[in-house]
Structure 1
Amino acid sequence: MIDTHAHIYLEHFSEDIDGVIDRALQNGIHKILLPNIDSSTIDQMLELESQYPDICYPMMGLHPCSVKEDFEKELRLIEDWMNKRSFLAVGEMGTDLYWDKTFWNQQREAFHFQCELALKHNLPVVIHCRETIDETIEMAMKYQGKGLKGVFHCFTGTIEQGKQITDMGFHLGLGGVSTFKNGGMDQVIPHLEQTKIILETDSPYLTPAPYRGKRNEPAYVSIIADKVAECLNTSKEALVELTTANANALFFPNKIASH
């Protein structure tokens, strides 16, 4: 299995990162994809990659909650890093109106800048869209036919929103919310395009049931897989095979082509 979205370079994991990686491996998670947040997280993220090569894979991007007055400087830094070395994706990027609406226009500008960066480097985008799914779908539609690919991470939308996203060729990241009793995702997941679903934890956030309220970690992808398999009325083995193939197709297409 692949945890396609985990912030395990954050201080929440500094005391026991070796145990976190071990538990992931014991639970069948062999790749952990690391979305960046902003300039303050790059060093820790790259340090984790060097500690665990072939397990931890970094992305480069500017999280919408870090889009502030200095966002252009942050974007230039991201662009510099992208020119310096290879990354798996442009992310985590996107839009967020949950906490603060002050920088909405700047978030939109940062969104388009990072989409263009992804096209230039032929990479997928990892899109965050809290309280902004319809607006973000609309912005992503501008890239139809241009070859932009990626994932709407932490998908908690409707059947119709899911269809709009997958019709554009994007993937849907399913995480801990899929396990929440009143999350409503059990009604949505059976109707999603199965070739476009991938699994994620968003560690340390959005911990799946029955561990809600505790720190999330990549090992819990296994719990999410159980629930998604149940929603799709399929075996866990089949679900793991499906979602791992989907994640590999999105994030490791060259490796697939070369085997």
Structure 2
Amino acid sequence: MKERLQAWIPKLVLGPSFLLILFFVYGFILYTGYLSVSDSKMLPSYGFVGLENYEKLWKLRHWTSSLNNLAIFGILYIVICSVLGLLLAILLDQKIRAEGVLRPIYLYPMALSFIVTGTAWKWFLDPGMGLEHTMHAWGWESFQFDWIKSRTHAIYVVVIAAVWQSSGFVMAMFLAGLRGVDPDIIRAAEIDGASRARIYRRIIIPMMRPVFLSAFVVLAHLAIKSYDLVVALTGGGPGKATELPATFMYSYTFSRNLMGIGASSAIIMLIMIFSIIVPYLYSELRADKQS
């Protein structure tokens, strides 16, 4: 009896949480999927229209524009965060004296919400009160950095703020990977006369492929669902220059009262995330079975 009770206690404790997750996460995913094939507008409606909302969605210029912005933002965000995070991790891996001070400094931005990050960078880059205004006050009248007001460059401002927010987290992932490399392999390479740079390039970095893959999955997921940073920083503007799928979904669902189209865009975002996470989970499970 006691053994049965001990076996059931974890299930009883975790059961309510599991049921809540099942309902509020997966239940609402299914509900959103149904709304995407319904004639819902301002309020949910249950008239079935098939794939009509998806056809309308792909004909909207704002949707294709948001996907183009996501491609620019996602590629730059993932690449720059990965490169910068790796360089910072290699720097800290040299056992420098200030590591205990630098590590929290690099990690601090990740402790902030994207709303705070977006608001801070909006103030910093505003030509009327931020960096450009300060440079003019110091006498550098020719200095100009008004990307946040430019349709062409505004998306790169979002990239800058997002990289500042996430590169420290990526650094922590790479630093953990570097510290996990067997030191005997490094010592053997040094005995053979390999330089430090060559050891990193030929031995250490290739061994960190799982860390690169994990960083890619995390960053891609953050890029696809980016909403609060864009809203706080640019509001999707100027015009629609920084609109991403997440901001498109919100505006069409709650501002334009086209819930069916908004739900269909949410389902496409979900498919994007699944297309990244499912292969990753499959590779991880396959590696576990082989080991």
Q: TM-score if structure 2 supplies the norm length?
A: 0.25
Higher helix share: 2
Higher relative contact order (CA 8 A, sep 6+): 2
Higher gyration radius (CA): 2
